[in-house]
Structure 1
Amino acid sequence: MSTEDGFDFAALVAGGGDRPRTASEFVQRALRTAILEGRIPPGTPLRQEALAAAFDVSRMPVREALRQLEAQALLEFTPHKGAVVAELSAQDQADTYLIRRALEPVALARSIPHLTRDDLDRAEDLIADMDRESDHGRLGELNRRFHLSLYAHAGSPKLLRLVERQLTEHDRYLRFHLAMMGRDRMSQDDHLAMVAAAAARDIEAATVVLQRHIDVAAEDSARFFDR
């Protein structure tokens, strides 16, 4: 089933894998994956009626799925169009890096004193997983999980929700850049240095590495958009 915008939602549903516990989770997961992988292009309207028919569910779980995707900054609601896949833009990405730089060092500094050996091992395992992974979509997910694993004990659920939202938005840009610029653009040196500093309980060193990590990525991305 295609919409007037030409996207084949039936193919999306067919590739959605096993259904999770609720219909809204299934719709959200399928749409989120397709958006992050670029299979639903930016600017595409996501109409509730078409989605409900394609997923064979009522409009209520579709509405909830779209609301969750908006909270993750993957959708925007516009007059006359409703839910629309968010556009990629240089200014939007610059703002994302600016917010990440303000929030993530705070989360890391608060979390480090409470990180356990298991937490650090999990972070190291995620770095190893990234080294072995070639799929750009999977790399974005692993990168987000790595950062959140180091911030997990910040002791502020609201702060972590804000951080996760920015990492989710950055995820789309990361996958886009990996596809355009190549896998070697994703350096792991900063990730390793952050884990080492966290293991040593050196909050200053860890936050300096993180700030540099975000700054370099922001500059790299700005140059890419300039080109």
Structure 2
Amino acid sequence: MAAASGGADESTATWISNQLRESIISGELEPGSRLRQQGLARQYEASRMPIREALQRLESEGLVSVVAHSGAWVASLDMDEFRKTYQLRNVIEPFALEQSIPGLTPQDKDLIQDLCIEIGALIQGQVDVQEFLRLDREFHLATYVGLDHEHLESIVRRLWNTTQPYRRALVSTLSTDQLVATHKDHEQIVDAIMRQDVRSAGKLMWVHIQRTIYRIENRPEILG
């Protein structure tokens, strides 16, 4: 598909980075996949320059690893890198949530509640993993829109991008009871947000992230 179809308002590099970002986050491109500029140029009917710019943008978001004079790959983590990334999440995200809550509008809170309800309905039946991941990501990122700190928000998004493939692999292995426990965390976080209880919300987020750390450390094959 030609880059021009991305719309006149987007630059070619922006359009290509959007397409690649979606392919990585959705799991179409797996961690460690080689991203060859020549192949991408053919795929998107573009020159090398916007391809390079798109890859650099995705590298800054934590989605791509670029090695000088070697090439680019979809970012991947080993167990040590995973632990360090989640340790960072467990410091930054509770703090970010506490900072975000005072800035959330009634409309923001309505969206957070609606997403939580959608997740609850989804896990009542045969779970569509891709849809669960989409809603889960939207739910969590929606809780941070009250941040008055662009750099902090970008760090949170980068951490989510880096760990997205491993959450996908994990969710595929979870039992119904485990999904229900995960969603109970969501409901408790929403309740704290609605009460403007920033301290409880931060603590609940810490527990929620810690639950994921425990589950993945007990399923090391998820990290390949």
Q: Which bracket does the TM-score occupy, shorter chain normalised?
A: 0.7 to 0.9
Question: After the TM superposition, which residues 4-153 of structure 1 pair with which residues of structure 2 at under 5 Å, given as runs?
Answer: 19-20=6-7, 21-133=10-122, 134-153=127-146
SS at 1:151 equivalent: coil
1:114 aligned partner, one-letter code? G
Instruction: Note if contact 1:28-1:66 (Cα within 8 Å) is conserved in structure 2.
Output: yes
CA, structure 1 residues 25+191, in 2 after alignment: closer, same or farther (shift >3 Å)?
Answer: same
Q: Are 1:139 and 1:175, in contact at CA under 8 Å, matched by a contact in 2?
A: no
Partner of 2:185: 190
Q: Which residue identity does 1:108 align to in structure 2? A: L
The change in CA–CA distance for 1:183 and 1:62 in structure 2 (over 3 A counts) is farther
Deviation at 1:218, TM superposition (A): 0.6
Q: CA deviation at 1:25?
A: 3.1
| Greater relative contact order structure (CA < 8 Å, 6+ sep) | 2
d(CA) in 2 for partners of 1:190 and 1:113?
Answer: 20
The partner residue of 2:155 within 162, 173, 176 is: 162
- 2:220 matches 1:225: yes
Whether the 8 Å CA contact 2:118–2:135 is kept in 1: the answer is yes
Distance in 2, Cα, partners of 1:219 & 1:68? 31
Other structure's SS at 2:219 match: helix
Task: Report the number of matched residues.
Answer: 213
Partner secondary structure for residue 85 of structure 2: helix
Call closer, same or farther: CA 1:180–1:44 in 2, change over 3 Å.
Answer: same
Q: Which runs of 5+ in 1 are unaligned?
A: 1-12
Task: State the distance in 1 between where 2:151 and 2:168 align.
Answer: 26
CA distance in 1, matches of 2:121, 2:207: 24
TM-score by structure 2 length? 0.83
Counterpart Cα distance in 1 of 2:160 and 2:130 = 14
- Equivalent in the alignment of 1:6: none
Structure 1 distance, partners of 2:118, 2:88, is 27
**C-alpha distance 104-178 of structure 1, shift in aligned 2 (>3 A):** same
**Equivalent residue number for residue 178 of structure 1:** 171
Whether the aligned pair in 1 keeps the contact of 2:25 and 2:165 (CA below 8 Å) is yes
Structure 1 residue 28: deviation in Å?
2.0
Shift of 1:182: 5.7
1:40-83 CA-partner distances (Å, limit 9, x unpaired): 33333212122112211112221121112112212112244211
Letter in 1 for 2:6: R
Structure 1 residue 88, shift from structure 2 partner: 3.8
24-33 vs 114-123, greater mean Cα deviation: 24-33
Distance in 1 between residues matched to 2:121 and 2:55, nearest whole Å: 33
State whether residues 48 and 63 of structure 1, in contact with CA within 8 Å, keep that contact through their aligned partners in structure 2.
yes
Relative to structure 1, the CA distance from residue 136 to residue 88 in structure 2 (aligned partners, 3 Å threshold; closer, same or farther) is: farther
- Report the AA paired with residue 168 of structure 1: N
How far is the alpha carbon of 1:148 from its aligned partner?
1.9
Do the aligned partners of 1:42 and 1:85 also contact (CA within 8 Å) in 2?
A: yes
